[in-house]
Copies of this chain bind each other. A is one copy, B any other.
Amino acid sequence: MNIRSCAYLCRMKKVGILGGGQLGRMLLQAAANYPVETWLMEAAPEAPAAHLCHYFVCGDITNYDEVYAFGKELDVLTIEIENVNVEALEQLEQEGVKVYPNPNALRVIQNKILQKEFYAANDIPGSAFVITQNQSDLHQYLDFLPAIHKLGMGGYDGRGVQLINAANDIPLGFDQPSVLEKKIDIAKEIAILVAVATSGETILYPAVEMIFDTDLNQLSHQLCPAALQQKILWKAEAIARRAVQGLRSPGLFAVEMFVDHNDQVLINEVAPRVHNSGHHTIEAHYCSQFDMLWRILLELPLGNTAAIMPSAMVNLIGSENESGLAHYHGLNETMKMENVFVHLYGKWETKPGRKMGHVTIISQDKLDLSHKVNIIRHQFFVKAK
């Protein structure tokens, strides 16, 4: 840890981030445009963001005492992952530390049952759902299938989510409080980033669209702006705004939604933080999602969410059956492309499905975007050495 003069310590706001993954990394990249003293708590000292802060604290972000001790000398706290100790944040907030997103909002989002109840209470359209206390409850809802069983607490990044097609899938269901959501006939997946200032001022980014590779049954890329009929976009914007405003918290939020084959827009979930669906904003928008969150945390004016150019974003994911020291194939070929921006997260170890980096393409020409997406998806991948 560097030695700091007292004058330096006295001068800038002290802002802490819980979690040190790639979202923290890009958040700290953006922080260097502003006078702010950055603190980071993260269990892994080699995590992507660990070296980019003024003060790194190696600790468990789910532990009450560690989060409380980390936060109590700070002016502002934020998160880059939901799975943090919310009780410590509540205590810190009571003691005057500003916590964005507010612990109240985080508590609703951390628990999928509370989240679904919150949408229902705020008239935000979503899939029909019932709450189950244990696996055997599922037998009551055979008429409700096919449905998605989601663990109330603790599931994230695909864990704690189980498709229950029919009665014979019930043994796969969760034996703890969970929500059973009716399966939607999805036509399109979209997301809208929403920024909320401490004043309550709320602004939206243009909607993005997730394009799936139907052959491989996986996400191919994201496209901004989403190709949506005006009336569907309006619905989506209204839902995003209402969902975030209902949480009554400053912060940067990502609202994920489904469009079904009847042109209905249904909420999927809200992430109360910078998000994978906003990576393209670094190069393609006047104010990136990371810059926007700093503006909120430092109580500076909100930025311009407009696009400088249309964009596509491709995640670089650890290949199947590859675990070990990361080796990038096709990096040079990709970096030669003229309107392409490569972000590697500095993770030395690749694992199947791990997010290792992303690539953003900007172009006025949508065919150029999809053409380059295809090239990149075929030429750029990560394997173990």
Which positions in A face B, CB cutoff 8 Å?
1-5, 7-8, 11-12, 25-26, 28-29, 32-36, 38, 45-46, 50-54, 56, 58, 286, 295, 300-301, 303-304, 306, 308-309, 325-326, 328, 331-332, 335-336, 338-339, 341-344, 346, 348-349, 362
Residues on B with C-beta less than 8 A from A8 are 46, 348
Give 7 new A-B contacts, CB below 8 A, not counting A33-B343, A35-B328. A5-B348, A26-B32, A29-B32, A33-B341, A51-B53, A286-B339, A286-B341
Judge whether A344 and B33 touch: CB under 8 Å. Answer: yes
C-alpha spacing A300/B334, complex, angstroms: 10
The minimal Cβ–Cβ distance linking A343 to chain B, given in whole angstroms, is 5
C-alpha spacing A332/B304, complex, angstroms: 13
- Given the known interface contacts A12-B346, A46-B5, the answer about A300 and B52 at a Cβ–Cβ threshold of 8 Å is no
Of B38, B45, B286, B301, the contact of A51 (CB 8 Å cutoff): B38
Judge whether B33 and A342 touch: CB under 8 Å. Answer: yes
Judge whether A338 and B29 touch: CB under 8 Å. Answer: no
Residues on B with C-beta less than 8 A from A348 are 5, 7-8, 11-12, 35
The minimal Cβ–Cβ distance linking A30 to chain B, given in whole angstroms, is 8
Q: Closest chain B residue to A327 by CB distance? A: B11
Residues on B with C-beta less than 8 A from A2 are 45-46, 50-51, 56
Q: Closest chain B residue to A25 by CB distance? A: B32
Judge whether B301 and A338 touch: CB under 8 Å. Answer: no
Residues on B with C-beta less than 8 A from A335 are 295, 300-301, 303
C-alpha spacing A300/B45, complex, angstroms: 27
Q: Closest chain B residue to A54 by CB distance? A: B51
C-alpha spacing A8/B51, complex, angstroms: 13
C-alpha spacing A25/B34, complex, angstroms: 11
Judge whether A308 and B306 touch: CB under 8 Å. Answer: no
Judge whether A11 and B300 touch: CB under 8 Å. Answer: no
Of B52, B56, B342, B346, the contact of A52 (CB 8 Å cutoff): B52
Q: Closest chain B residue to A338 by CB distance? A: B304
The minimal Cβ–Cβ distance linking A27 to chain B, given in whole angstroms, is 10
Judge whether A45 and B4 touch: CB under 8 Å. Answer: yes
C-alpha spacing A310/B346, complex, angstroms: 32
C-alpha spacing A39/B325, complex, angstroms: 22
C-alpha spacing A162/B217, complex, angstroms: 70
Residues on B with C-beta less than 8 A from A326 are 11, 35
Residues on B with C-beta less than 8 A from A46 are 2, 4-5, 8
Of B53, B304, B338, B349, the contact of A7 (CB 8 Å cutoff): B349
Q: Closest chain B residue to A36 by CB distance? A: B346
Q: Closest chain B residue to A325 by CB distance? A: B11
Residues on B with C-beta less than 8 A from A4 are 45-46
The minimal Cβ–Cβ distance linking A79 to chain B, given in whole angstroms, is 19
C-alpha spacing A4/B306, complex, angstroms: 40
C-alpha spacing A301/B25, complex, angstroms: 24
A/B interface sample: 21 pairs, CB < 8 A? A2-B45, A3-B58, A5-B46, A7-B325, A7-B349, A11-B326, A11-B348, A12-B346, A12-B348, A29-B32, A32-B52, A33-B344, A34-B344, A34-B346, A35-B346, A36-B346, A38-B51, A300-B332, A301-B335, A304-B338, A308-B362
